[in-house]
Homo-oligomer: A and B are copies of this chain.
Amino acid sequence: MEDIKQYMKSVGQQARAASRVMAQADTAVKNRALLAIADAILNSSAALIAANAKDIAAAKTNGLDAASVDRLTLTEKTVRGMAEGLQQIATLPDLIGAISEMNYRPSGIQVGKMRVPLGVIGIIYESRPNVTADAAGLCLKSGNAAILRGGSEAIHSNQAIAACVHTGLKAAGLPETAVQVVTTTDRAAVGELITMKEYVDVIVPRGGKSLIARISADAKVPVIKHLDGICHVYIDDEADLVKAIRIADNAKTHRYGVCNAMETLLVHANVAAKVLPELCKIYLDKNVELRGDDAARKLVAQMSAATIDDWRTEYLAPILSVRVVANLDEAIDHINTYSSQHTDSIVTENYSKAMRFLREVDSASVMVNASTRFADGFEYGLGAEIGISTDKIHARGPVGLEGLTSQKYIVLGSGQIRV
Complex CA gap A372/B253 in Å reads: 57
Asked if A159 is an interface residue, CB under 8 A from chain B, the answer is no
Contact yes or no, A409 B246, CB < 8 A:
no
- Bits for A355-395, please: 1 = Cβ < 8 Å to B, else 0: 00011101111111111011100011100000000011110
Interface size classification for chain A? 35 or more
Contact yes or no, A396 B416, CB < 8 A:
no
Quickly give the copy total for this chain.
2
Q: Is the interface of A mostly helix, strand, loop or mixed?
A: mixed
Q: Tell me which of B202, B368, B392 contacts A413 (CB under 8 A).
A: B368
Complex CA gap A243/B111 in Å reads: 19
Q: Tell me which of B201, B249, B374, B392 contacts A118 (CB under 8 A).
A: B392
Stretch with Cβ within 8 A of B (4 or more), from A28-36, A57-65, A102-110, A285-293:
A102-110
A250-B417, A415-B243 given as contacts; is B366 within 8 A of A410 (CB)?
A: yes
A107-B379, A359-B114 given as contacts; is B373 within 8 A of A415 (CB)?
A: no
CB distance from A116 to the nearest CB of B (A): 7
Which residues of chain B have C-beta atoms less than 8 A from A251's C-beta? 417
Contact yes or no, B393 A105, CB < 8 A:
no
A118-B393, A406-B393, A408-B397 given as contacts; is B371 within 8 A of A417 (CB)?
A: yes
A250-B417, A362-B23, A380-B409 given as contacts; is B368 within 8 A of A201 (CB)?
A: no
Q: Tell me which of B20, B358, B380, B393 contacts A201 (CB under 8 A).
A: B393
Asked if A184 is an interface residue, CB under 8 A from chain B, the answer is no
Max chain B CB contacts within 10 Å: which of A118, A222, A362, A416?
A416
Contact yes or no, B114 A240, CB < 8 A:
no
Asked if A119 is an interface residue, CB under 8 A from chain B, the answer is yes
CB distance from A373 to the nearest CB of B (A): 4
Which residues of chain B have C-beta atoms less than 8 A from A413's C-beta? 367-371, 374
Asked if A302 is an interface residue, CB under 8 A from chain B, the answer is no
Which residues of chain B have C-beta atoms less than 8 A from A370's C-beta? 109, 411-413, 415-417
CB distance from A17 to the nearest CB of B (A): 11
Which residues of chain B have C-beta atoms less than 8 A from A362's C-beta? 20, 23, 116, 119, 408
A379-B105, A393-B406 given as contacts; is B412 within 8 A of A368 (CB)?
A: yes
Complex CA gap A362/B116 in Å reads: 8
Contact yes or no, B24 A416, CB < 8 A:
no
Which residues of chain B have C-beta atoms less than 8 A from A367's C-beta? 109, 410-413
Which residue of chain B has its CB nearest to the CB of A254?
Answer: B418
- Bits for A143-174, please: 1 = Cβ < 8 Å to B, else 0: 00000000000000000000000000000000
Complex CA gap A249/B419 in Å reads: 12
Complex CA gap A359/B396 in Å reads: 27
Contact yes or no, B103 A381, CB < 8 A:
yes
Which residue of chain B has its CB nearest to the CB of A397?
Answer: B409
Interface pairs (26), CB distance under 8 Å: A24-B360, A103-B381, A105-B379, A109-B367, A109-B370, A111-B380, A114-B358, A114-B359, A119-B392, A201-B393, A246-B415, A247-B415, A250-B418, A254-B418, A345-B411, A365-B410, A366-B409, A367-B411, A367-B412, A368-B413, A371-B416, A374-B411, A380-B409, A396-B406, A396-B408, A396-B409
